[in-house]
Structure 1
Amino acid sequence: MKGKSFWFLILGFSLSEILTALLTDGFHRITAESVILSSLVSLVLLLAIWYRYVDKPTSDFLDAINRAMRGDFRARFSCYDENDNFHRLSVSFNRLMTCVENQTEELKESRRLQIQLYENEKIYRSALELTCERIFEADLTHNRLIYGLEGYQRAFSFLNTEMFDDMIHSIADHAVYEEDQEKFFQTFDRRNLLETFRASQIPEITLEYRQRLPSGTLKWVSSSVIRSGNSGDGLKVIGYVKNIDERKKQELEILKQSRKDGLTGIYNKSFTQTLIEDFLAGTGKSGRHAAIMIDIDNFKRINDTLGHIQGDTALSQVALKLSGLFRCSDIVGRIGGDEFFVFMKDYSSSDTLTEKLNAVKNLFGEIRLEDSSYRVSGSVGVSLYPEDGAEYRELYKKADHALYYSKAHGKNQYHIYVGNTAENQKDVSSKMQMIQNPAT
């Protein structure tokens, strides 16, 4: 405002000169030159005021707008008279441009990160293609494959869809081993994947399963789905399949060996116990089962007389015959030097159990050693579920008591646990109407 006052003061002074001359000396003192000079001075002053306070701010404002329209969001407009409308306009315009500039920088950074992410995904995808059998990219939200259908069609000629749901159903039905189909479908069902990824921070879901080849053979593979992005238009994933057949078979073999007895090939003591405990904690809670403990009679004499090789032969033959005598669902294990343990699941009747126990006792007569004159026999102790206990250790302990009674009363026989005393042990008929098998 001070600038305006200065210019209006000068203009007023020039006009006052002319008015003073008119009022005092009249028109005779006023010359044409002075009038023209004063008019020119006034005109120049008016033009200067116009330029300073109207034309220049307007021009600067238009210039700033043009710069912004060309993409220069650093353009600003300044007006120094705080009481002028142009000043208020410049403040609002500059604030707006600051917001636009900040938003533009954020968008540029976001775009840069998106490009970097895209490039990283391309590199990751290329690496996967070198190490994996198949890869794909899918939009789970919109149920469609984005990339990788051709690779899957080369592996599975029956695939003719770009819908993710249909692809999973087709692969499960035609290329996944029957025992693994339900687990495969539950893992890779689109709705389950969406729910899992949205509800947790899990970046990757993996499943190992057996793939059925056109030849009918099975191959272990590992399928993984990785969250690759969750943009406004959908949740996207990258999936890949690896051949793990050799590694998986080695792992299973190691696991198998850790569960098996090295000499006989049947389950070892630790895994026998684990299997029985798991069964009783699950589907075995209902039903009637028999815990059968078996011991080779006079086994030390076999080792001492015929040698340890013949002792090992006897153990192996007993294990083989026990495995053949019982069902695949039953549990057969070696729990000690010459002791075996069989868990007979869901026997149908006391007659069935009696028949099986007689067969166990008689199988020892089929054992053949180098010395054909040597006769092998065995003693057997039995406890019953749920009558004698609901847990492995209790059944084991009572079967061991019954076995001890068999060995103490002549060997080569079986006894079913009915109590801790010899008198009770003889009273087998009171238990499920089973009759004690006499020694022969």
Structure 2
Amino acid sequence: MNTAPRSLLRAMFDAAIASAQPAAVVPAHLPEPPKGRLIVIGAGKASGAMARAVEDHYTGALEGLVITRYGYAVPCKRIEIVEAAHPVPDEAGLLAAQRIEALVNGLSEDDLVLCLISGGGSALMPAPAQGLTLADKQAINGALLKSGASIGEMNCVRRHLSKLKGGRLAALCHPARVLTLLISDVPADHLPDIASGPTVADASTCANAVAIVARYGIKLPAAARQLLDSGAGETVKPGDPRLARAETRLISSPQIGLEAAAAVAREAGYSVCILGDSIEGEAREVGQVMAGITRQVAVHGQPLPAPCVLLSGGETTVTVRGYGKGGRNVEFLLALGMALKGQAGVHAMAGDTDGVDGLEEIAGAMLGPDTLARARAQGMNPSQSLDNNDGHGFFGALGDAVITGPTLTNINDFRAVLIDRPGAAEQNP
């Protein structure tokens, strides 16, 4: 098998991840020391590395606590790093969230809260609203993850069932100043959806959350349903005076990662088309659409001629119906491969920049013109694997899984389709 396209695809993926490393993007945004205390808080898969970047470059006194995913902690001396579960929350996350709430109570106008937020914060900082339990939140999260709901829809529901999300954390910090540094992992960088927006105002309503629950047939605990139906779960709205001193800075995003990957591809002599940084929808359907665009390039040279790379980001969804564990990147890739039917000169990679695709500790996988043939030679049925949402099992058996380990950041999904002129890959190993 020719390895050059695979090596280039992996180099592009690595460049996207490197562009969002906290050590590179946090220092330029650190504030001047306040008159009072500096309290550092945060949650997300990148929050531990963000905290380390703060410690390495901030010269004043500070204290604080951030919550990150198991395996994503880094050594810090002044900021405590707590590890918790993702994507379904656990008690470690709950207890740490309660400690963050206590840290920001009773602050003064002279104090400054530096909030470090990245993708994954919704699950990592669970704070059930009045009347709800951790078990309730776990059940709701699990149902949302399997429902096929978009990240925006899931986080709308989460915001309205929380004590800290939807701007409530910033409201608790009042009258202190709040500076939030955000690493985005959501389509269109919609601020209320990044970790469910704990420090930003939210225009969505309980009625919106009720509609989402009904749309996907999600059964809520009675207490959660009461919160939504009564309006008691309403979030902090734009114009709320408690957020008047809350500032938000987006310091890295999916688009930045795609541009970094594009630079690598161009250096290797490929033209690049970035199709979008916020593509959503069922992963298998997005794979079929991408196959159509790929064929248009290969056959007609549109929207650009080969050799080229098609890049995209965003967050697709998987409605889990089979025995597999889902994984939107591998599901996309398997659907793409089936639609392409071994198209000559086409290689692809899809992966989650946090290193975890769905519930598996695997970032994603690689696809080549020979993938389906190799699978069938091993007695595998690609169509059956797709029907069972078992992309991880499929690519794992072929040795085509991409495993990075914890990347310490998260700018959502990365998809790259590399299209050579037919025969070019074989002629130029």
In the superposition, the TM-score normalised over structure 1's length comes to 0.21
Question: Which is higher, the Rg of structure 1 or of structure 2?
Answer: 1
Structure number with higher helix proportion: 1
Q: Which has the higher contact order (CA 8 A, sep 6+)?
A: 2
When the two structures are superposed, what TM-score results if normalisation uses the length of structure 2? Answer: 0.21
